[in-house]
A = this chain, B = another copy of it.
Amino acid sequence: MTHFNDLIDGYRRFRTADYRRQHERWAQLAEGQSPKVMVIACSDSRVEPSQIFDTLPGEIFVVRNVANLVPPFESDGGRHGVSAALEFAVTKLEVEEVVVLGHGMCGGAHAALTEMFQDSPPGDGGFVHAWVSLLDEARDRVKAKYGTGPAATREMELETVRTSIRNLRTFPFVPARETAGRLTIRGAYFAISDGVLHLMDEDGDFRPA
């Protein structure tokens, strides 16, 4: 079982190895970051973008939340964490690609499909229920077409990617940059059961990379 003291051990390894070995890289990173890719992934402990994509420090700007969700553009002055990160990455850092990474065995997608926390108060599932309500429309489509079995589960997980990408495009600065050829949106899905990465094509279909 890994606890915080194990993380400190890990930090010591990082300091004596990776950090020392990549001192040129870290010296550059101390000047500032200039990632070209933003990744929106799930908080699931098994879906670590830097591990699945074997990246180095400074290469990807990362947002992680339950079910890798992007809410739609809302100019209500409210606190929107994903919107803030997206705005910063695309309009300030000017990343050239945004990748939405879904995955198998997603607890958030499961909660959306089953509505298991429908009657749960905030603090006992209610927050998860409210958050995955972003998937309500998708869920209705999925249940109508696939019911609630394994096929529906997989489809629901793929819908987290399609829904987030749809919402990404409600932010005016996204389609504007896509049209100008300065930004590309990617969809991907990591199947935990067999460790295979799938890529989404223009039609929203996923195929093994």
Binary interface encoding of chain A residues 24-64 relative to chain B, with 1 for a CB under 8 A from any of its CBs, else 0: 11100110110111000001111010111111111111111
| Interface residue total, chain A, C-beta cutoff 8 A | 104
Task: Name the contact of A13 in the complex, choosing from B16, B57, B99 (C-beta under 8 A).
Answer: B16
Q: Are A4 and B84 in contact, with the CB atoms below 8 A?
A: no
Stretch at the interface among A122-130, A141-149, A155-163: A122-130
Q: Bound state CA distance, A7 and B59, in angstroms?
A: 9
Chain B residue, CB-CB nearest to A19: B195
Q: Bound state CA distance, A21 and B92, in angstroms?
A: 27
- Give the number of copies in the complex: 4
Binary interface encoding of chain A residues 63-106 relative to chain B, with 1 for a CB under 8 A from any of its CBs, else 0: 11110010101110111111111111101100011010000010
Q: Bound state CA distance, A77 and B128, in angstroms?
A: 11
Binary interface encoding of chain A residues 1-30 relative to chain B, with 1 for a CB under 8 A from any of its CBs, else 0: 111101111111111111101101110011
Q: Are A71 and B66 in contact, with the CB atoms below 8 A?
A: no
Chain B residue, CB-CB nearest to A193: B30
Q: Bound state CA distance, A12 and B80, in angstroms?
A: 35
**What are 20 contact pairs spanning A and B, CB under 8 A?**
A2-B35, A4-B186, A8-B53, A8-B199, A8-B209, A10-B53, A10-B54, A14-B53, A30-B193, A43-B61, A43-B63, A45-B58, A45-B61, A62-B64, A66-B88, A71-B81, A81-B82, A87-B125, A88-B107, A92-B125
